[in-house]
Amino acid sequence: MVVEIRRALSRRLVRVLVLVALLGIVIIAIGAFATSDPDAADAFSPADIWTPELDQSSDAAIVGGVSFLFLLMALLGGASVIGAEYKAGTITTLLTWEPRRLRVIGAKLAAAAIVAAVLFLVLEALLAGALAPAAVVRGTTEGADDDFYRSLAGFLGRGALLTGGCAVLGGAIATVGKNTTAALAVVLGYIVIVEQILRGLRPGWNAWYLGENLGIVLTGERLDDVVRSVPGAAAVLLFYLGVFVAVTLVVFARRDVT
């Protein structure tokens, strides 16, 4: 497992994604500091942006958007962890030394999940630290009470689990498709095209769509037009992920990888 985690962290794409995320955090922090007015009624406040309802203000929408971007990055990074192995041809060499295929793919998917979840927590912590000057100097810390910190802890926990799940999903699709771009193409194609078409044709199915369930779990709040609780949405996502992983295990165990 440790070896696979080191492999994941050594991927060039993973490092690039982390650098992009860090650059985005810096830009957001500078923007928040520059635009916040300490005398205004809507002065910048962490209690307004790290609450369950991430869409209640423009600042909150930024944090919510960044968090969803982290999920997309985890998907792409998880796909790279395994897709790059196929591109380089090292997966065949690895199976020569470790023929237990389920153990190999299980370790890779688990490593991708761990790396993604930890990076999510680290990046969110860095985002909080980067936004602290805007709150202290040009905003307000009012509302940062015990309820706020409990809400924040819940958000971080759910986000870490979702990020790990996205990394596993990316790795699973990349395993079946034998490349990194397959995962991104499949997921984005489904969310951007297929789900949009289905929403128009079958609006009553919105409780089963991937986007809605991701939003419910990440925010920890029900959506107005979706009859699905947070635990219910988590169960739906877990079911979808389980199906993808099961298919991946079967394909990887039976496929000729030479």
Residue-wise pLDDT for 108-153, tens only, equals 999 999 999 999 999 988 888 888 787 777 666 666 667 777 777 8
Give mean pLDDT, residues 15-37. Answer: 85
State the pTM of this model: 0.85
Does the pLDDT value for residue 61 go beyond 60?
Answer: no
More confident residue, 54 or 82: 82
Predicted confidence at residue 238, as pLDDT, reads 94
Give mean pLDDT, residues 209-230. Answer: 82
Rounded-to-integer distance, Cα 31 and Cα 90, Å? 44
Does the pLDDT value for residue 252 go beyond 50?
Answer: yes
Whether 74 and 163 have beta carbons less than 8 Å apart is answered as: yes
More confident residue, 134 or 39: 134
Strand partners, 253: none
Does the pLDDT value for residue 67 go beyond 50?
Answer: yes
Give mean pLDDT, residues 97-108. Answer: 87
Predicted confidence at residue 112, as pLDDT, reads 92
Read off the pLDDT band of 193 (50, 70, 90): confident
Read off the pLDDT band of 258 (50, 70, 90): low
Predicted confidence at residue 161, as pLDDT, reads 93
